[in-house]
């Protein structure tokens, strides 16, 4: 299996790290693990440059890696990744992830509500689960309120199940976690496996961890050397068969997105629990829902009793009472959609072709071309001339 690193968007020094470090070996997983361990030795070399420093009692500061995700703290992708990172004690691994599946929460945050944080058990890592979104998790972790530190070396969001290519990044909670880190000035990676329904299995997620570890180690090394890109996060998409990938390819973000399918559902059918919800969490949510329902019912009774003796004069069309409202329920599903005639340097094409797609995503405002700028100016001038009062 060959490995390539296209250098369209990355500094030469980082590309050099990728070329030296990110080779996926032909002779099996064991040799790949040896390569990972060798690279981690390089990562940690800046901590204690010599045994003499250790003898003199100088503290060896480990690079801190914060892991979050979109699918929840109990998802296999996060668990396998954290366990792999924690095997070597030269990285300090911390976890702050959602309690439940928030994989399509986008970059939403929780305001005017209290979120709860509970400690969680993941071997080798300090972990917390948060009753909020991925962006909440990263924002809280970097605030200094939860951990003793406020700025890790790297934030990794993943490994998530399903592609976050193209315009799916706007829906993705996992990308939002990495983006929130970038907004806060911390380098970040978002890692996803191109999960195929009825084809992919849990062992593919473990293989994806093996593919992603050299990238993570290379990123930490580059951050310590000051050569990691500071203006973008890297969205890393691993193909559905990780161990047979064709190598790494730096790509551009496409306009592709999953097909959105809305389906009507019965009002008596309650939504199923998220994939990785524990029994305790499920019971808590049910009790909370019962409490909200009871409160709402009580409020409705009080409101109706207050209105019994009040006459309302109808003006225009009469409004239906609450009891006459029609309630319909719908559920949104993301469906896979094949892409045709897509440029080879776009993320979804490289991913479907078997490459590990590495897409830089920036939070800088896009540069608007002169033609677009002129067309908007012409439209505004024409609209104001025709109806100037509309803009007052």
Residues 6+ apart with CB under 8 A from 200: 161, 193, 240
pLDDT value for 279: 44
Residue 281, in any domain of the structure: no
Contact status, residue 67 vs residue 127, Cβ threshold 8 Å:
no
Residue 217, in any domain of the structure: yes
Residue 364, in any domain of the structure: yes
Angle ∠(77,102,276) on CA atoms, nearest 5: 50
DSSP 390: G
The CATH number for 77's domain is 3.40.1210.10
Strands (DSSP E) contained in the chain are: 64-68, 92-98, 117-122, 125-130, 154-161, 188-193, 232-238, 248-250, 259-265, 329-335, 356-362
DSSP 168: G
Range of the domain at 235: 64-260+343-370
Which backbone phi and psi does 338 adopt, to 5 degrees? -70, 145
Residue 69, in any domain of the structure: yes
Residue 221, in any domain of the structure: yes
Region at 130 (left for phi over 0; alpha for psi -120 to 50; beta for the rest): beta
Contact status, residue 279 vs residue 37, Cβ threshold 8 Å:
no
Q: Kind of pairing, strands 117-122 and 329-335?
A: unpaired
For the chain, how far is it from start to end, CA to CA, in angstroms? 64
pTM: 0.72
Contact status, residue 211 vs residue 159, Cβ threshold 8 Å:
no
Query: What's the rounded Cα separation, in Å, for the pair 174 and 168?
Result: 11
Query: What's the rounded Cα separation, in Å, for the pair 247 and 239?
Result: 10
Q: At what angle do helices 173-183 and 134-141 cross, to 10 degrees?
A: 30
**Among residues 282, 260, 263, which one has the least CA distance to residue 273?**
282
Exposed/middle/buried for residue 326 (C-beta within 10 Å: 0-12, 13-18, 19+): exposed
Q: What is the DSSP string of 259-290?
A: EEEEEEE-TTPPPPPPTT--HHHHHHHHHHHH
pLDDT value for 221: 93
Exposed/middle/buried for residue 62 (C-beta within 10 Å: 0-12, 13-18, 19+): middle
- Sign of the alpha-carbon dihedral angle for 298, 304, 306, 312: positive
- Sign of the alpha-carbon dihedral angle for 176, 179, 184, 186: positive
Exposed/middle/buried for residue 292 (C-beta within 10 Å: 0-12, 13-18, 19+): exposed
pLDDT value for 305: 47
Side-chain-side CA neighbours of 37 within 13 Å: the count stands at: 9
pLDDT value for 51: 34
**Per-residue confidence in pLDDT tens, the chain, 392 aa:** 444 554 444 556 555 556 554 443 334 444 444 555 555 555 555 554 433 343 344 456 899 999 999 999 999 999 999 999 999 788 999 999 999 999 999 999 999 999 999 999 998 899 999 999 999 999 999 999 999 988 999 999 999 999 988 888 999 999 999 999 999 999 999 999 999 888 889 999 999 999 999 999 999 999 999 999 888 999 999 999 999 999 999 999 998 877 788 899 887 655 554 444 444 444 444 544 545 555 555 555 555 544 444 443 444 444 555 567 888 899 888 777 666 667 888 999 999 999 999 999 998 877 777 788 788 888 888 888 876 665 45
Residue 110, in any domain of the structure: yes
Residue 365, in any domain of the structure: yes
Residue 152 vs residues 37, 54, 248, 380: alpha-carbon distances, Å? 21, 23, 26, 46
Encoding tokens for residue 87? Answer: 């095997």
Q: What is the three-class DSSP state of 324?
A: helix
**Among residues 321, 295, 296, which one has the least CA distance to residue 307?**
321
Number of domains in the chain: 1
CB-CB neighbours of 270 under 10 Å: 11
Q: Which residues pair with 362 in a beta bridge?
A: 232
Residue 34 vs residues 2, 28, 43, 129, 156: alpha-carbon distances, Å? 18, 11, 14, 32, 22
Residue 95, in any domain of the structure: yes
């Amino acid at each position: 299996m060959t490995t390539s690193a296209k250098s369209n968007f990355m500094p030469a020094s980082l590309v050099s790290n990728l070329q030296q470090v990110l080779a996926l070996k032909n002779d099996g997983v064991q040799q790949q693990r040896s390569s990972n361990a060798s690279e981690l030795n390089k990562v940690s070399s800046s901590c204690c440059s010599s045994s003499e420093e250790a003898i003199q009692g100088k503290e060896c500061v480990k690079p801190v890696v914060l892991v979050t995700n979109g699918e929840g703290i109990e998802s296999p992708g996060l668990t396998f990744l954290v366990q792999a990172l924690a095997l070597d004690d030269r990285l300090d691994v911390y976890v702050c992830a959602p309690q439940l599946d928030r994989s399509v929460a986008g970059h939403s945050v929780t305001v005017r509500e209290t979120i709860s944080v509970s400690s969680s058990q993941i071997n080798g890592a300090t972990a917390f689960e948060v009753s909020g979104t991925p962006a909440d998790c990263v924002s809280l972790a970097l605030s200094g309120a939860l951990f003793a530190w406020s700025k890790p070396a790297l934030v990794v969001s993943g490994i998530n199940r399903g592609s976050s290519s193209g315009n799916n990044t706007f829906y993705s909670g996992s990308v939002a976690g990495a983006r929130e880190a970038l907004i806060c000035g911390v380098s970040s990676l978002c890692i996803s496996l191109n999960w195929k329904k009825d084809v992919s299995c849990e062992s593919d997620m473990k293989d994806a961890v093996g593919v992603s570890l050299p990238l993570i180690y290379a990123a930490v090394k580059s951050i310590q050397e000051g050569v990691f890109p500071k203006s973008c996060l890297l969205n890393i998409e691993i193909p559905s068969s990780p161990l047979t990938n064709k190598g790494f390819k730096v790509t551009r973000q496409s306009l592709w997105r999953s097909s959105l399918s809305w389906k009507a559902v019965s009002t008596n059918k309650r939504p199923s629990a998220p994939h990785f919800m524990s029994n305790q969490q499920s019971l808590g949510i049910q009790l909370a829902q019962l409490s909200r329902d009871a409160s709402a019912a009580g409020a409705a009774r009080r409101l109706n009793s207050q209105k019994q003796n009040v006459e309302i004069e109808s003006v225009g069309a009469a409004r239906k009472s609450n009891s006459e409202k029609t309630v319909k329920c719908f559920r949104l599903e993301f469906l896979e959609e094949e892409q045709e005639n897509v440029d080879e340097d776009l993320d979804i094409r490289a991913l479907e072709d078997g490459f590990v797609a590495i897409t830089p995503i920036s939070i800088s405002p896009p540069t608007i071309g002169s033609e677009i700028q002129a067309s908007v100016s012409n439209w505004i001038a024409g609209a104001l001339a025709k109806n100037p009062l509309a803009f007052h």
